[in-house]
């Protein structure tokens, strides 16, 4: 869901964050009531109970505070907002940025809230990633070494924040700057790139294109990945994200 301007107040932030949980809870209760209203045992009754259980399990999974692939679920987000005023402020900034990206604002035009000198949570690392994208948009692909180093060090200190999008940007940066030993250091992530589901994501297709060009030196395969990435770029959720992906893809295309 995309936040609205009204949802940027702390109280509304919590309500907005838990809206999906509430919907699943209501859905689960409704399916249980539907199942109870059907008197005789039938496929419809069983199916209603099944959907009810599934919806309520989704509620439990989302409410129990935990990190999934480096990102907090709804329960952990709300806990962090309640416990920490600084986190609540950062989360408001995050939602504000999502609004701007949705409207097509370029990353270089964003007012990024990087006031801290280190990365301690998933919001900090995301803000640093946007700062890296801003350097790319202003100075060109291959720039932003200091920021990339900060992100790389943060993932070593806080492995729980490790997420494909951060690791892949580190890999692409080092590929462009011809750093050696990447396959040994990030072998697991290179292996993940071979999974078919990555061929439906413009970002990972872009990473595969860079890998194919710089490591495998396969021009034909690189161009194939580039064309796939370009064709899928419009499927990215935020318009601002599409623009930064376009910058990376066009840069590689010009290098070939």
Average pLDDT over residues 129-151: 87
Range of the domain at 172: 84-255
pLDDT score recorded for residue 151? 92
CA distance 57 to 61: 6
Span 85-102, average pLDDT: 83
- Alpha carbons 113 and 227: distance in angstroms, whole number: 35
Answer yes or no: do 49 and 161 share one domain.
Answer: no
Q: Is residue 219 part of a domain?
A: yes
pLDDT at 3 over 70: no
pLDDT at residue 100, as a whole number: 85
148, burial (CB in 10 Å: exposed 0-12, middle 13-18, buried 19+): buried
Q: What's the predicted TM-score (pTM) here?
A: 0.76
pLDDT at 243 over 60: yes
Q: Provide the pLDDT for residue 195.
A: 64
Higher pLDDT, 198 or 132: 132
pLDDT of residue 105: 84
The DSSP bridge partners found for residue 68 are: 71
Helix (H/G/I), strand (E/B), else coil: 206 = helix
Q: Are residues 111 and 229 in the same domain?
A: yes
pLDDT tens for residues 155-170? 888 888 888 888 888 8
Are residue 61 and residue 153 in the same domain, yes or no?
no
**pLDDT for the residue 114:** 59
- The reply to whether 121 and 175 lie within a common domain is yes
Residue 107 scores a pLDDT above 80: yes
pLDDT at residue 174, as a whole number:
85
Q: Which pLDDT band holds residue 53 (cuts at 50, 70, 90)?
A: very high
Would you say residue 193 lies in a domain?
Answer: yes
Residue 200, phi then psi, degrees to nearest 5: -110, 10
Work out how many domains the chain is built from and give that number. Answer: 2
For the residues 51-66, what does the mean pLDDT come to? 85
Q: Are residues 109 and 213 in the same domain?
A: yes
Of 13, 42, 72, the position where a domain reaches its end is: 72
Mean pLDDT for all residues in the chain? 81
Percentage of the chain beyond pLDDT 90 is: 9
């Amino acid at each position: 869901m995309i936040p609205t301007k009204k949802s940027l107040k702390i109280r509304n932030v919590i309500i907005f964050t838990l809206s999906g949980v509430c919907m699943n809870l209501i859905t689960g209760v409704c399916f249980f009531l539907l199942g109870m209203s059907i008197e005789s045992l039938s496929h419809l009754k069983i199916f209603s109970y099944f959907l009810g259980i599934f919806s309520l399990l989704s509620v439990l999974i989302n409410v129990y505070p935990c990190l999934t692939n480096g990102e907090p679920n709804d329960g952990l987000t709300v806990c962090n907002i309640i416990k920490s005023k600084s986190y609540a402020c950062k989360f408001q900034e995050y939602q504000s940025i999502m609004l701007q990206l949705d409207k097509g604002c370029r990353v270089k035009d964003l007012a990024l809230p990087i006031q801290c000198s280190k990365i301690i949570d998933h919001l900090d690392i995301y803000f640093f990633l946007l700062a890296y994208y801003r350097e790319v948009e202003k100075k060109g692909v291959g720039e932003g070494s200091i920021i990339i180093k900060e992100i790389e060090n943060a993932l070593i200190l806080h492995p729980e924040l490790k997420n494909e999008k951060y690791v892949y940007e580190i890999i692409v940066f080092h590929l462009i700057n011809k750093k050696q030993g990447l396959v040994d250091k990030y072998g697991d992530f290179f292996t993940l790139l071979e999974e078919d589901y990555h061929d439906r994501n413009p970002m990972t297709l872009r990473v595969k294109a860079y890998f194919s060009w710089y490591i495998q030196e396969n021009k034909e395969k690189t161009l194939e990945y580039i064309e796939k990435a370009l064709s899928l770029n419009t499927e990215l959720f935020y318009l601002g994200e599409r623009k930064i992906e376009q910058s990376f893809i066009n840069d590689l295309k010009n290098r070939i």
